[in-house]
Amino acid sequence: MLHLKNATYIGSKKRQSLFDLEIPVDFNGNLIVFIHGYMGFKDWGAWNLFEKSFTNQGVGFCKFNFSHNGGTTTNGIDFPDLEAFANNTYSKEKKDVIFLLNEIEKHIPKNTFIHLMGHSRGGGIALLNHNDERVKSIITLAAISSISKRFEDKNMLQSWKEIGVRHVQNQRTKQQMPHNYIQYLDYIEFQDELNIEKACKTLNKPNLVIHGDKDTSVLIDEGVEIATWTNSPLYTIEGADHVFGSSHPWPHNELPEKLKEIVDLVSAFILKQKNDKSIIENEALMFQLTELSKVDGEIKEMEFGFLLQIAHQLGLTKEELMELFEKKINHTPPKNELERIVQFYRLCLLMFVDNELHHDELKALRNTAIKMGLQPQATEQVISWLENHPGQSMPTNQLIKIFQTNFN
């Protein structure tokens, strides 16, 4: 378990800002990184309860303040630094996500599934960061579909250019929030990499689009555009406004019903991804096992029984196993070395299940180990041990030690 509250990361222009990170005891390997919206912050409204709704299910959660959102490391809520806010830009926010991911990588387990979830303007920023290889999926809540739409008022642009700054009142604090003209110039300079439509049309990861049908701040039309560009369904929350029934401060101990609905949608979306990935990986492993079992020209009863046993362990039925003998699957070995070692050992056990190892089988086994990037000296030791200990299984700690010794 890990619980960081008001920890700091270094964002754009080397400015420090705050983040929270919780990895629950029953962590299931999924981590949501939540991105707040315009005039937002990580502790706004019901976001802390929102976080708890996921960590209670074993999902990790991280939320953070943009480096130039107007908060400081001592006060992340009331916008004490209006100069920083005035100099904020969309490109700074896009980069902040990368800086934040770099920081939390130091704290989270390897192979964690990171899901970027953004609200409003933060949803657009999430989409713009979809090509980060650490990100497994994108979730948007009432997201903007375009930055250029924010600059469509020509009269406003002209006045802004002449004065150099424009102000928008914060309805909660009543502050006049300054926006320097540099924000628009930054968009013009980086408009290609800040093109949300382009990002959506090149998105090749799972994504979930959620929007309220009573949203007057970011109309549902923008949610329709995102869903259309990403070729995905739009999940409409009936009767929901821009903040899904929340407000700041949020004095209640439970989430508003609309946010509860979102928690259910997101949880199902994340679970499906994990299951889909597991099915694909398990089928690929079983396919490789079936291919090796056919090397000597026949599949013995003991070999098929062993295959069926592993298939059941991996959640595959006998019928699905039989289908794999006819399939052609492009198999890519796992990136994690421990997973590759375990996979190689399963292949060895299949070859030795009848206490006989034919020349063609041994050749295929060695070639497979090379393709998996495993040390030949280590794989030979494993094969030799199994030859000298027929009918026995090598202790796991001994298996790992062999590969560690040869690696060093």
> What are the residue boundaries of the structural domains of the chain, listed by start?
2-255, 279-407
Q: What are the tens digits of pLDDT across the range 246-262?
A: 999 999 999 999 999 99
pLDDT of 281? 63
Residue 12 has pLDDT above 70, yes or no: yes
pLDDT of 367? 79
Give Cα 408 to chain centroid, integer Å: 32
pLDDT of 292? 66
Check if 2-255 and 279-407 are the same fold.
no
Cα–Cα distance measured from residue 276 to residue 270, given in angstroms and rounded to the nearest whole number: 10
Q: What percent of the chain has pLDDT over 70?
A: 87
53: left (phi over 0), alpha (psi -120 to 50) or beta: alpha
pLDDT of 395? 74
Q: What is the pTM of this model?
A: 0.71
**Confidence category of residue 148, pLDDT binned at 50, 70, 90:** very high
Cα–Cα distance measured from residue 220 to residue 144, given in angstroms and rounded to the nearest whole number: 9
pLDDT of 130? 97
pLDDT of 296? 57
Give Cα 400 to chain centroid, integer Å: 29
Residue 338 has pLDDT above 90, yes or no: no
Phi and psi (nearest 5°) for 396? -60, -45
Residue 39 has pLDDT above 70, yes or no: yes
Most confident of 76-85, 273-282, 321-330: 76-85
Phi and psi (nearest 5°) for 171? -65, -25
pLDDT of 406? 62
Q: What secondary structure does DSSP assign to 387-404, as a single string? A: HHSTT----HHHHHHHHH
Cα–Cα distance measured from residue 406 to residue 408, given in angstroms and rounded to the nearest whole number: 5
Average the pLDDT over 401-405 and give the result. Answer: 80
Please determine, looking at this structure, whether the domain spanning 2-255 carries the CATH number 3.40.50.1820: yes
pLDDT of 68? 98
Residue 193 has pLDDT above 90, yes or no: yes
Helix orientation angle between 301-313 and 257-293, rounded to the nearest 10 degrees:
170
Average the pLDDT over 282-286 and give the result. Answer: 70
First to last CA, the chain: 31
Cβ neighbors of 197 (< 8 A, separation 6 or more) are: 145, 146, 225, 229
Output the six-digit token pair for 91.
Answer: 């490109």
Average the pLDDT over 314-339 and give the result. Answer: 68
Please determine, looking at this structure, whether the domain spanning 279-407 carries the CATH number 3.30.450: no
pLDDT of 340? 74
Q: Which range is least confidently modeled, 189-193, 222-226, 267-271?
A: 267-271
